[in-house]
Amino acid sequence: MLLDLDPQGNASSWLGGGGDIGIFSVLTESQSVESQLVKSTVEGLSLVPASQRLAGAERILANELAAETTLRRRLEGAELSGWDYVIIDTPPALNLLTINALTAADQVLVPVEAHVLALSGVAQIVSTIGLVQSRLNPKLRTAGFLLCRFDSRTRHSAEVRERLTAKFGDRVLRTVIHENIRLAEAPSFAEPIETYAPSSQGAADYGALAMEFIAMENA
């Protein structure tokens, strides 16, 4: 199951589920998660979509008591036993929606663009994760830092990897997602990389990510 908490709604529109009220009404109108669940174009994956209204959700939530735990409370009341994973896509900002996601989650995966500028953002998210752990969700674990848009031809990407590893050691995932044009193309065909370009580097990288993640869980 995918919960799209990003008002940009890319994950939803790519998966053929945009435009509905979706997660907005789960967060602000006490709708159940199940009532907003729609099938995606991918077999086995359903989603609670984002919508334009989600941009206003933060303001509405801010007026409520225990606003940070809203999503967790909704998920606690949901029937999730039929699902292997609930994946929450967050906005690219540390706002109340992101705090809701971190408060509801067991694990957080931090994608880091292989660019020096992205490293200051990592420091910020790490400090926010620490605050959420101590105040709201002690069981939150950092599953790892995932280097994305990695360009093996440049020294720069390798440098970013070294700096991240110096700081976070083995919490930096072994898998990196290389820059790959097939990954840029796939969304416009509303297809996941595994079916759009199964023999591409992008498919291999995301496959490796899934395997590394599952191996970590079983360790």
Ligand X SMILES: Nc1ncnc2c1ncn2[C@@H]1O[C@H](COP(=O)(O)OP(=O)(O)OP(=O)(O)O)[C@@H](O)[C@H]1O
Residues that bind ligand X (CB under 6 A): 6, 8, 10, 92, 148-149, 177, 179-180, 183-184, 187
Query: Within 10 Å of residue 89's Cβ, how many Cβ atoms?
Result: 18
Closest by Cα among 187, 86, 79, 69 to 137: 69
State the minimum distance, in angstroms, from the CB of residue 80 to ligand X: 24
Please identify, using beta-carbon distances, which residue of 18 and 78 lies nearer to ligand X.
18
Mark residue 198 as left, alpha or beta (left: phi above 0; alpha: psi -120 to 50; beta: remaining). alpha
| Least CB distance to ligand X at residue 141 (A) | 22
Measured CA to CA in angstroms, residue 156 lies from 14, 148, 163 at distances of 31, 13, 11
Cβ 8 to ligand X shortest distance, Å: 6
112-142 burial, b at 16+ Cβ within 10 Å, e below that, comes to bbbbeebeebbeebbeebeebbeebbeebeb
Burial of 150 (0-12, 13-18, 19+ CB in 10 A): buried
Shortest distance (Å) from residue 111 CB to ligand X: 7
What whole-number distance in Å separates Cα of residue 145 and Cα of residue 109? Answer: 6
Nearest approach in angstroms of CB 31 to ligand X is 24
Pairing, β 172-178 against β 46-48: unpaired
The first and second tokens of residue 83, run together, are: 């699902």
* Apex 151 CA angle, 212 and 2, nearest 5: 45
Closest contact distance (angstroms) between CB of 11 and ligand X is 7
Q: Looking at beta carbons only, is 40 or 78 nearer to ligand X?
A: 40
Nearer to ligand X, 73 or 115 (CB): 115
